[in-house]
Amino acid sequence: MSVYARPGSPDALMSFESRYDNWIGGEWVAPVEGRYFENPTPITGQPFCEVARSTAADIELALDAAHAAAPAWGKTPVAERAIVLNKIADRIEANLEKIALAESWDNGKPIRETLNADIPLAVDHFRYFAGAIRAQEGALSEINADTVAYHFHEPLGVVGQIIPWNFPILMATWKLAPALAAGNAVVLKPAEQTPASVLYLFSIIGDLLPPGVVNIVNGFGTEAGKPLASSPRIKKIAFTGETTTGRLIMQYASQNLIPVTLELGGKSPNVFFSDVLAADDGFQDKALEGFTMFALNQGEVCTCPSRALIQRDIFDDFLALAAVRTKAVRQGDPLDTDTMIGAQASNDQLEKILSYIEIGKNEGARVITGGERAELGGDLSEGYFVQPTIFTGTNDMRIFQEEIFGPVVSVTSFADYDEAIAIANDTLYGLGAGVWSRDGSVAYRAGRDIQAGRVWTNTYHQYPAHAAFGGYKQSGIGRENHHMMLDHYQQTKNLLVSY
């Protein structure tokens, strides 16, 4: 075990600035109205920096910079754009520990996750799209003996991107890497709950891009996000966040008839068929580990397996083992490398989760383990910690239907394959799902029958850059990751030539 020194303390690997402006046109620019908001760490609840509270005027400045930069970046040969993306990846990798620490301090997530998953995935994402853009080819169709149709990929121009607080750096990367590879200039707004790590990232990588190609404007949803998403000066808006906000984003975008990518909420089923307990072996162990994934990232994952469906004949036995496994998931100081569950990202989120736990209790669900705020003592006593919580109940309950976005799993049983699929699909959402069976044909069939954009079979929570990710139903529109994502940031030019 080792515990990282807190940012800003004498032994710390990194420290934040006490105040962050917006990153516009390759420099730090104070907000037009001169206002800032306080940013606390969820680990102790104490503010550690203040951040620009932007308005429409700041968005306009960022759009000016982006429009000035977009034509040259869009015409930069793909090989050169790829070099820039690879340099960004190398710079992040060289500073991985510092960036991981910044991300954990700003968001409350365990440093073992930021060191081993979030930041390495961000590095890989830039490298993947650096390669993907070089491999992209146009198309040619012969229309007749003397006429040819050429198809070219062109960047959209200036695009807007709005991200949430649960994976600040990874979400920024998922959006920036394909947009930049495709030749666009970007105005990106981080979430107001976790602005600092993305700003810290740009203090490290900002000089690698031509000024204005990426602009970061901070602030709140209605004050800064809405003017960005409604602007007639963007050619696309890419948004990750709640389904209710996604509906608003679509309304704003419709005024300018621009395309949207929406990555929204989820209530993902994790389905365990009887044969997972057929032997006390590695497969059973993996399935139990898969159950505990509801607590990964404190449950603040859009694909959190927040509904567990267990086949009736193994229900009691599997649940007993799963409860033991859940209690063993170590909760504590996120900067301790042994910690597996850290703090919720904000006080509002903590309150929301605790209120859903009350809702569950009041609607008759049974608490198997957890069910309270976690009291960790010392300087963590004001931090935003919740015990991993297992409920049992029925799929019509609110805790089975509404996104809690915390370390809470609602467990129910099913009799047979058809009932499993019916319960799994009885939700507004369709983002992620898990299926666990030793029988490959059952796992495959369930994977196809569940209405979700990503179904993990006999695994969970892997996010490689080269696998398409996105939602069915009210979980979103469009896809992220995979080279097909480049299409979302380009338009097709058809040149029809008669020789």
Which residues, 6+ apart, have CB-to-CB distance to 215 below 8 Å?
Answer: 22, 23, 24, 25, 62, 65, 66, 185, 186, 187, 188
Radius of gyration in angstroms for the set of CA atoms belonging to the chain, rounded to a whole number: 23
Q: How far apart are CA 498 and CA 338, in angstroms?
A: 67
263 catalytic per annotation: yes
Tokens 């799994």, located at residue: 424
Cα dist. 50→152, 193, 444 in Å?
A: 45, 11, 49
> Residue 147 has which token pair?
């006429």
Which residues, 6+ apart, have CB-to-CB distance to 466 below 8 Å?
Answer: 128, 481, 482, 483
Torsion angle of C-alpha atoms 222, 227, 229, 232, degrees rounded to 10: 160
Question: Which position among 59, 99, 179, 191 is part of the footprint of ligand NAD (CB under 6 A)?
Answer: 191
Quick note: the x/- pattern for ligand NAD over 356-395, rule CB under 6 A, is: ----------------------------------------
423 lies in the site for ligand NAD, by CB under 6 A: no
> Of 9-17, 159-167, 279-287, 382-390, which segment contacts ligand NAD by CB under 6 A?
159-167
User: Closest separation between CB of residue 434 and ligand NAD, Å?
Assistant: 16
Please give the residues from 222 up to 241 whose contact with ligand NAD meets the rule CB under 6 A: 222, 225-226, 229, 240-241
User: Closest separation between CB of residue 140 and ligand NAD, Å?
Assistant: 35
- H or E element: which one contains 91? helix 78-94
Which residues, 6+ apart, have CB-to-CB distance to 208 below 8 Å?
Answer: 84, 87, 88, 91
CB closer to ligand NAD, 303 vs 395: 303
DSSP letter at 114?
A: I
User: Closest separation between CB of residue 119 and ligand NAD, Å?
Assistant: 17
Q: Which of 263, 300, 403, 480 is catalytic?
A: 263
Amino acid 152 reads F
The full DSSP string for 39-74 is: EE-TTT--EEEEEE---HHHHHHHHHHHHHHHHHHH
Question: Which position among 6, 91, 189, 267 is part of the footprint of ligand NAD (CB under 6 A)?
Answer: 189
Quick note: the x/- pattern for ligand NAD over 444-483, rule CB under 6 A, is: ---------------------------x----x-------
Q: How many CA atoms lie within 13 A of 439 on its CB side?
A: 11
CB closer to ligand NAD, 211 vs 221: 221
Please give the residues from 395 up to 414 whose contact with ligand NAD meets the rule CB under 6 A: 403, 405
Quick note: the x/- pattern for ligand NAD over 162-181, rule CB under 6 A, is: xxxxx---------------
Number of residues that bind ligand NAD (CB under 6 A): 29
221 lies in the site for ligand NAD, by CB under 6 A: yes
User: Closest separation between CB of residue 162 and ligand NAD, Å?
Assistant: 5
264 lies in the site for ligand NAD, by CB under 6 A: yes
**What residues are annotated to the active site?**
263
**Rule CB under 6 A: which residues touch ligand NAD?**
162-166, 189, 191-192, 220-222, 225-226, 229, 240-242, 245, 248, 263-266, 302, 403, 405, 431, 471, 476
